[in-house]
Amino acid sequence: MIPLADMKAMVLAAGKGTRMGAISDTLPKPMVPVAGRTLIDRILDHLAAAGIHKPVINVHHLADMLEDHLAGRAVISDERDQLLETGGGVKKALPLLGRDPVFLINSDALWTDGETSLLARMHDCFDTETMDVLLMLVRREDALGHEGAGDFLCDIMPGRPVPLAFRGTAPTAPVIFAGVQVVNPAMYDDMPEGRWSNKLIFEKAQASGRLYGLLHDGDWMHVGTPEAIREAEARLAALGAA
């Protein structure tokens, strides 16, 4: 595994943010402020603390505004002409990401670190011999702002990566994918151009036994609606976090 500071990262920021309602009429969702700081700036701060600067960021909705906000701090992958979803967006950006394992981060994920940096933990746990995808996991009951029955079945082992299986027909699953991952870019080589979901990469990794997850040891919030903004601000205030 390459050193943490040598890793590339991509923030998936091209979505329309429709669940934000009227807010997204004038702001791209990554620029929505939570407790005075935008979602995208919070992610950039986490990356910078890990020594990772100028990540790739894809843009589509209100692209000019987001690109101006990011000036000098990111490499832009332009999806103005066509929104490619998560998988297609990464596929388009591959020439900017290189061949070593990369971080992919959803722009509506807000987290606080536990005892150590989440990004450092994920880097240290990614085993190129056994993994193609390592997902950040959060227990379903701890997932503020998330609705659903859970994403993956696994034996939860805090501090250690565990193999994952999709929930499938099970009524519930104990953990969700929380929007941060480390991925082997080679997983995209035989995937199509155009619009498709990154879930296909997870399924591909599971099929070969190379899909793993790591339980987050800090707080996590999904900020996808106006109500979720208020909930996240209340949680940050309770934690005494900026």
* Residue pLDDT, tens place only, 199-241: 999 999 999 999 999 999 999 999 989 999 999 999 999 988 7
Give me the mean pLDDT over the 51-74 stretch.
Answer: 94
What pTM was estimated for this model as a whole?
0.95
Q: What is the C-alpha to C-alpha distance for residues 105 and 44, in angstroms, rounded to an integer?
A: 10
Task: Give the pLDDT confidence score for residue 145 in this predicted structure.
Answer: 86
pLDDT at residue 100 greater than cutoff 70: yes
Q: Phi, psi at residue 150, to the nearest 5°?
A: 100, 160
Whether the pLDDT of residue 177 is over 80: the answer is yes
Q: Looking up tokens 């000019």, which residue turns up?
A: 64
**pLDDT confidence tier of residue 187, bands split at 50, 70 and 90:** very high
Mean pLDDT of 21-36: 92
Residue 148 contacts residue 166 (beta carbons within 8 Å): no
pLDDT range class, residue 153, cuts 50, 70, 90: very high
133 contacts 212 by C-beta, under 8 angstroms:
yes
- pLDDT at residue 147 in the model: 84
Strand intervals (E) in the chain: 8-12, 33-34, 37-38, 56-59, 75-78, 102-106, 109-111, 133-139, 152-153, 162-163, 165-166, 175-183, 211-215, 220-222
Distance CA 139, CA 142 (A): 5
Report residue 191 CA to chain centroid gap.
20
Domain residue ranges of the chain, discontinuous segments joined by +: 4-239
CATH code 3.40.50.300 for 4-239? no
List alpha helices for the chain, DSSP H: 23-26, 39-49, 63-69, 85-97, 118-125, 199-207, 226-239
Q: How far apart are CA 82 and CA 154, in angstroms?
A: 36
User: What per-residue confidence (pLDDT) applies to 20?
Assistant: 86
What one-character DSSP code corresponds to residue 43?
A: H
> What pLDDT was estimated at residue 84?
94
